[in-house]
A and B are shown apart, each in its own frame.
Chain A
């Protein structure tokens, strides 16, 4: 294990272009998917978290269940969408990084909606009355979320990113694990195992673990610097 980590560092320091290509792609695809998922999820979460309407629990239950969808299933669905004879086949996106981005976006969206909705509901339960005095518009509610709880929103973003960058099932089906085109950290690990190069696979795994560590530390830092606000303190 320790040998693998030192080998991982050696690999990183050696400046192997193939390794950095894989790391860079993993980072940009998964962060783009996460940012897009958050941008989509936040307005939905503000609606779901602050407006009581009949049947809201149904939507919440569906969103909650979709959090458990396996990455391979998402990969399969996106494959069927993007295959040449599929509904979006003309876009020629299959086996490109865009396909992985789309799959990861779909994969993490339910998680993003559920987690932000939870934050928003808490917030609204505590401070909703104060905001409602001014006749809270949708924009006001959005602003409330960002003013009162910027830290938690960023932490959700980081959690979502962690899920996106660590999935392998979708990336392998819709990306195809093409070197210098669609190979990401997890599919690279799978490939090394397939070739019996277990040490190299562990080295890639160590890189992934290192990224997870950085993400976790950032989340802690964000929580420390931007704690959830109390209205009294403002």
Chain B
């Protein structure tokens, strides 16, 4: 007993410096940044440029903004401009800057034919009661999806809609898995879709429309009353040297993220055509 305790203490002594007492920069971010692989590229380039390590706490936009407000992370890379600005206005974050675009696509079963425009596509789903799986988790993608239904003037909160409109309440990957096995339609960002490995019979179906625009912003949090220095460093890097890392990031031959420093905010991304034609 005593002996094994001793061994345990030794293990502790070695493991401890690796875990508790180093102080990397903690950034909250959305699943799309991690699951696409962009995160690895950003982490490597960031520590090369600044000499600091970066840790990424992953969750939906809603959860990440809560972490930022609680000052458990120094900054956030998220994609719901409206709630980002609301947090800054409410005093939960110091500032917000544009970072990049990674537009949404609507995925559906390979053999079903629907319009490639987002709004008519959704109207057809509702009219024919084709199954749709929603994130239903208050994430940026979920909020974008709700705005899409609003643009299509369809109320998905009705009792009748429950027969074809399902809420998974989980992350993007889990929701894609569900849609793939239910032969349902689902909204996802292009980068997560490209990197996703269980595509099964899902294919891009809706790639066009203003409501599919997906803008990422970086937020700087507070450290007690002051602006968080780590968060500010990350935001400065991401909107400066980081933009080249984002532009160079590719999955296959597609560049799913477009840095906002060198592209217009309006119009479709170059990837939209490639998704729905391929």
Contact = CB atoms under 8 A, between A and B. Distances in A.
Contacts of B198: 196-198
Contacts of A85: 70-71
B72 A94 contact: yes
Contact of A98 (B4, B8, B19, B197): B19
Given A28-B11, A84-B70, A181-B19, A196 B57 contact: no
Contacts of A193: 173-174, 177
Contact of A95 (B4, B12, B26, B199): B26
Contact of A178 (B56, B172, B195): B56
Interface string A174-212: 001110011000000000011111100000000000000
B45 interface: no
A31 B72 CA distance: 27
B197 A197 contact: yes
Contacts of B26: 95
A176 B57 CA distance: 6
Interface in B185-228: 195-199
B20 interface: yes
A44 interface: no
Nearest to B73: A95
Contacts of A97: 15, 19-20
Contacts of B173: 193-196
A164 to B, nearest CB: 14
Given A28-B15, A98-B19, A195 B35 contact: yes
B11 A35 contact: no
A28 B18 CA distance: 13
Nearest to B15: A28
Nearest to B1: A146
Contact of B196 (A28, A96, A196): A196
Nearest to A93: B20
B196 A195 contact: yes
B97 interface: no
Contacts of A194: 31, 35, 171-174
Nearest to B26: A95
Nearest to A21: B18
Interface of B: 4-5, 8, 11-12, 15, 18-20, 24, 26, 31, 35, 55-58, 70-72, 171-174, 176-177, 195-199
12 contacts: A84-B70, A93-B20, A94-B72, A96-B19, A176-B55, A182-B19, A194-B171, A195-B196, A196-B177, A196-B199, A197-B197, A198-B197
The list of the 9 closest CB pairs from A to B, nearest first, reads A196-B198, A194-B173, A196-B197, A97-B19, A84-B71, A176-B57, A196-B196, A96-B20, A197-B197
Given A195-B173, A196-B173, 9 more contacts: A28-B15, A35-B5, A93-B20, A98-B20, A177-B58, A178-B57, A195-B35, A195-B197, A196-B197
